[in-house]
């Protein structure tokens, strides 16, 4: 009987001590966009000290190009800023389905002053040739190269 009680107490302790499942990562605050299609302009203002995020990436249909090689990089004032996480999703309503990869950079503490944000979209050489961005042929069709580079300046102002 004492052994059963001891085992029940041990089991209860293990269950209570088990960590709760972590919530999936999520963007914080409002989005600051680098591109015109989502409201980005070369010069923007944003409330200082307020959380925000920058998220950009790629949308493609499976099989067109090797999606795992594509990338988005962000620099803040010329310094690389690693992403906090990459969101991955599939739009099954599209035919064929679209795959979306979005690199999310969270700034939970916000910022002050004026800062330059430079985004670089990277794609495979063969994609760039097929899009007419560079002359071909590619020595290595899967070589990663810049596709688009966009810089905006954001001034963080008193709310």
Q: Is residue 87 part of a domain?
A: yes
Average pLDDT, the chain: 85
In terms of DSSP H, where are the helices of the chain?
Answer: 2-17, 125-130
Evaluate whether residue 25 is within a structural domain: no
Predicted confidence band at 91 (pLDDT cuts at 50, 70, 90)?
confident
Give residue 56's domain range. Answer: 30-157
**DSSP structure class, residue 94:** S
pLDDT at residue 62, as a whole number: 66
**Whether pLDDT at 24 is above 90:** no
pLDDT given for residue 21 in this prediction? 61
Q: Is residue 17 part of a domain?
A: no
Burial environment of residue 92 by CB neighbours within 10 A (0 to 12, 13 to 18, 19 or more):
exposed
Classify residue 64: in a domain, yes or no: yes
Q: Tell me, yes or no, whether 15 lies in a domain.
A: no
Res 12 pLDDT > 60: no
Domain membership of residue 82 (yes or no) is yes
φ, ψ for residue 37 (rounded to 5)? -60, -20
The answer to whether residue 145 scores a pLDDT higher than 90 is yes
Structure tokens at 4: 């059963």
Measured in whole angstroms, the distance separating CA 104 from the mean position of its chain's CA atoms is: 3
Domain count, the chain: 1
> Has residue 118 been placed in a domain?
yes
CATH number reported for the structural domain that contains residue 130 in this entry? 2.60.40.10
- How high is the pLDDT of residue 16? 40
Whether residue 3 lies inside any domain: the answer is no
Average pLDDT on 55-81 reads: 87
Say what the pTM is: 0.81
């Amino acid at each position: 009987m004492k052994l059963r009680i001891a085992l029940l107490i041990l089991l209860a302790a293990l269950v209570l001590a088990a960590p709760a499942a972590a919530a999936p990562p999520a963007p914080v605050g409002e989005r600051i966009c680098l591109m015109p299609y989502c409201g980005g302009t070369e010069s923007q203002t944003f409330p200082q000290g307020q959380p925000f995020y920058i998220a950009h990436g790629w949308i493609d249909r499976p099989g067109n190009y090797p999606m795992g090689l594509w990338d988005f990089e962000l620099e803040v004032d010329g310094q690389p800023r690693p992403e906090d996480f990459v969101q991955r999703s599939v739009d099954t309503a599209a035919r064929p389905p679209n795959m979306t990869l979005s690199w999310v950079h969270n700034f939970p503490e916000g910022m002050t002053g004026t800062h330059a944000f430079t985004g670089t979209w990277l794609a495979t050489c063969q994609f760039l040739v097929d899009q007419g961005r560079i002359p071909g042929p590619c020595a290595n069709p899967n070589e990663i190269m810049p596709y688009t580079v966009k810089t905006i300046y954001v001034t963080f102002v008193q709310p």
